[in-house]
Amino acid sequence: MTKNLITILSSATQTVEISRDNPTVIIGERINPTGRKAVLAALQEGKFDIVRQDAIDQVAAGATVLDVNAGVPGADEPQLLKQVLRTVMDVTDVPLCIDTANPIALAAALSTYEGKALVNSVNGEEKSLAAVLPLVREHEAAVIGLCMDDNGIAATPEARLTVAAKIIERANKSGIPAENVVIDPLALTMSSDSNAGRIALETIKLVVQEFGVNITMGASNISFGLPDRKYVNSAFIAMAIHAGLTCPITNPLVTEVVTAVLAADLAMGRDEYAMRWIRAYRQRQKAAQ
């Protein structure tokens, strides 16, 4: 197996090391107006109270990186994204994942950010590679690589591995080392494709074996359209951690999901004397009282 690589992210004051030798890093997903009407409405009105509270709550719940998205239809995304980033940086000092498909907004955000950000994302499309990789290199950031290209989302783990290889190769040619590329194998919804979970898990294994890079995914996507989503998400994320997932993008406020992450880390030998598990148990007990 290829050596496990370490991806380092930082804020102005904190550093996070992502690796299969370390506990799983949770990237909090909630600062995103997509699918959250309250956040969308607030950002449309230029109000940032929800964003501020989401940042505080997610870090308190165990997120050590926060995803930040400001994709509001009709808004000046470069300006809005900078405002949202500043809001988050004012209330927490964890590293941030800058989530935008707009290269102009990405450039503005990277110029504003203090530290080494994670960029969400680039894919194997030529247009995306040409637009995103130079910005990642210029600002010495890390980047998420989605396993899709000009042909769409590949149907098999082997084809997704090929896309991952292309992204890693092009990043290297752009001066971005493999440790700064975090691959997303794409977790599609199992309600429309019963093989979606298996394909994602097998892709993780192939990519880790071939390249040793870190792995992320929008872990809650897998359960979209299903009842009792938190249980599906919890089981899947634990299985994905065993396969090689290191930094899922998920909701840390869902107790079942965070507990599954802690249990998976314990089972993988990443929680010495079960101290993190016991501490979290005591916190849950205290909250219940």
Would residue 99 count as lying in a domain?
A: yes
Distance between CA atoms of residues 50 and 88, nearest Å:
11
Sign of the four-CA dihedral 232, 238, 242, 245: positive
- 215, pLDDT greater than 90: yes
- pLDDT class of 2 with cuts at 50, 70, 90: confident
Structural domain boundaries, residue 283: 7-24+94-288
**Residue 179 DSSP label:** G
- Asked if residues 142 and 119 have their Cβ atoms less than 8 Å apart, the reply is yes
pTM: 0.97
Which pLDDT belongs to residue 179?
Answer: 98
Distance between CA atoms of residues 47 and 149, nearest Å:
36
Would residue 234 count as lying in a domain?
A: yes
Across 116-274, where does the E strand assignment appear?
118-123, 142-146, 148-149, 152-153, 181-184, 249-250
Which pLDDT belongs to residue 24?
Answer: 98
Which pLDDT belongs to residue 110?
Answer: 98
Would residue 266 count as lying in a domain?
A: yes
- pLDDT class of 1 with cuts at 50, 70, 90: low
pLDDT in tens, 10-62: 999 999 999 999 999 999 999 999 989 999 999 999 999 999 999 999 999 99
Would residue 201 count as lying in a domain?
A: yes
Would residue 80 count as lying in a domain?
A: no
Other beta carbons within 10 angstroms of residue 278's beta carbon come to 13
The pair of structure tokens assigned to 243 is 């396969």
- Asked if residues 109 and 98 have their Cβ atoms less than 8 Å apart, the reply is yes
Which pLDDT belongs to residue 237?
Answer: 98
Would residue 53 count as lying in a domain?
A: no
Which pLDDT belongs to residue 204?
Answer: 98
- pLDDT class of 111 with cuts at 50, 70, 90: very high
Q: Which CATH number does the domain housing residue 255 bear?
A: 3.20.20.20
Give residue for tokens 């009407």.
37
- What separation in angstroms does the CA of 159 have from each of 76, 113, 172, 203, 220? 37, 35, 20, 9, 23
pLDDT in tens, 150-172: 999 999 999 999 999 999 999 99
Domain count, the chain: 1
